[in-house]
């Protein structure tokens, strides 16, 4: 416990942390009476050394296996305290050196060749749809929603996200659209339903593919939407519009040039692409090791300094950029609320898999990610790309006008969907 006390005395510079060791003795760190304030109990003396040597890995592991419990406050308070103090310790030259060393050490973990990419996707996305329905919205959107105003529901915010993206694509009748990482098909079906365009949606998840095809059949959109189990590196054809929502996080830093090269080769000369991805507002660094090992193997979150050079090298115009900032924090908060209220339903799906330990792991993931967006520089980028400087209007008015049209006219009632 001595080494852990030494570490925490230096680490906790904001807020107050109480630690009850395995003997029941309490140790206090930080500034008493300040917030966030939380007390945790460490039940296993073997945990002390693990937390000193690799805290970013073993905090999550200990919470999931129950050797670390929250005694006073909430898990969200504990995560906030950790992240704001980690952010303070990362500033300066020492923090920069640490980031660079971690980048080099974990480079191999984000080399995602096709077979490995498929395994990574299977690990996270091939849970049954009934599991995801326990916390997602009705359209099964597993990506950042768009909270255009206060007090909107998750369902409304996810519909707003689809309108927001569709407006930026500036879709015209008769066009071909590629959806890279189509998930459960919601975005592709939205575009087909509202614009009458032909959409090819690709995914590496067999579960997502099954649900997406079932939804297309149920909505009578099989003629317009073709869902395929395919890697972005192997798709062929020319598309007027390309959209990718929540997939780029799984590409892996070594493959960024390859991804944008594929976008360039698949995009028509007067085409438009819209990339929606989690990113960092801070210098490059690997994702949290616990998240990578348990939730998103092979994942990497880009900084703008990593995206801009590869876009330039592919001779693509960055025609519009938006930083959605806290929208994903609000999305994750809604997901966690729904997940926690449905824990019994989750466990009932398959008690051998979705047991209490799994529920603690998933809850930790959702709350840790929310804390990352609120306190640790995570954000969401939307990048609009084109090959030609004059492909799109030179002001953003067309986006707002189209969002308003979609909102007022509703599904499949607009003139474009009718082919006018």
Tell me the C-alpha distance between 342 and 203, whole Å: 27
Q: What is the CA radius of gyration of the chain?
A: 23
Beta bridge partners of 159: none
Cis-peptide into 401, omega within 30 deg: no
User: What's the gap between Cα 179 and its chain centre?
Assistant: 17
Strands (E), 181-305: 198-203, 225-229, 239-245, 267-280
Token code pair at residue 325: 């900032």
Tokens of 358: 């799994």
CA distance 128 to 151: 30
Pair 182, 203: CB distance under 8 Å: yes
Residue from 144, 182, 359, 369 carrying the catalytic annotation = 369
Give alpha helix (H) positions in 170-239: 186-195, 206-218
Query: Which residues share a beta bridge with 323?
Result: 381
Q: Is 369 a catalytic residue?
A: yes
Give the helix/strand (H/E) hosting 40. Answer: strand 37-42
Residues 6+ apart with CB under 8 A from 14: 30, 31, 34, 81, 84, 85, 88
Active-site residue set: 369
């Amino acid at each position: 416990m001595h080494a852990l006390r030494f570490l925490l005395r230096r680490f906790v510079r904001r807020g107050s942390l109480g630690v009850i060791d395995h003997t029941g003795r309490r140790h206090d760190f930080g500034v008493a009476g300040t917030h966030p304030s939380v007390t945790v109990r460490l039940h296993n003396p073997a945990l002390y050394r693990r937390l000193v040597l690799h805290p970013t890995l073993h905090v999550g592991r200990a919470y999931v296996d129950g050797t670390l419990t929250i005694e006073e406050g909430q898990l969200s308070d504990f995560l906030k305290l950790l992240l704001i103090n980690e952010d303070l310790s990362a500033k300066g030259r020492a923090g920069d050196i640490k980031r660079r060393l971690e980048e080099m050490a974990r480079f191999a973990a984000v080399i995602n060749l096709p077979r490995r990419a498929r395994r990574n996707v299977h690990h996270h996305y091939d849970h049954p749809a009934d599991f995801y329905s326990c916390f997602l919205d009705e359209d099964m959107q597993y990506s950042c929603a768009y909270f255009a105003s206060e007090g909107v529901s998750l369902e409304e915010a996810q519909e707003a996200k689809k309108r927001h993206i569709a407006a930026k694509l500036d879709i015209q009748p008769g066009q071909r659209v590629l959806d890279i990482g189509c998930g459960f098909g919601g975005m592709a079906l939205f575009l087909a339903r509202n614009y009458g365009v032909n959409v090819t949606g690709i995914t590496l998840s067999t579960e997502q593919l099954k649900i997406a095809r079932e939804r297309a059949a149920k909505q009578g959109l099989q003629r317009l939407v073709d869902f395929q189990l395919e890697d972005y590196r192997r798709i062929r054809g020319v598309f007027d519009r390309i959209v990718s929502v929540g997939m780029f996080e799984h590409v892996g830093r070594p493959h960024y040039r390859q991804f944008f090269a594929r976008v360039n080769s698949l995009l028509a000369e007067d085409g438009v692409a819209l990339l929606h991805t989690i990113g960092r507002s801070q210098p490059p660094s690997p994702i949290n090791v616990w998240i990578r090992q348990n939730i998103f193997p092979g994942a990497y979150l880009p900084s703008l300094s990593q995206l801009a050079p590869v876009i330039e090298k592919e001779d693509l115009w960055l025609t519009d950029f938006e930083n959605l900032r806290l929208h994903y924090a609000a999305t994750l908060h809604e997901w966690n609320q729904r997940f926690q209220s449905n824990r019994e339903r989750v466990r009932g799906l398959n008690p051998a898999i979705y047991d209490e330990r799994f529920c603690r792991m998933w809850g930790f993931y959702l709350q840790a990610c929310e804390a990352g967006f609120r306190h640790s520089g995570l954000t969401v980028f939307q990048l609009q790309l084109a090959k030609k400087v004059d492909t799109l209007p030179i002001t953003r008015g067309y986006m707002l006008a189209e969002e308003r049209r979609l909102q007022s006219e509703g599904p499949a009632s607009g003139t474009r969907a009718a082919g006018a």
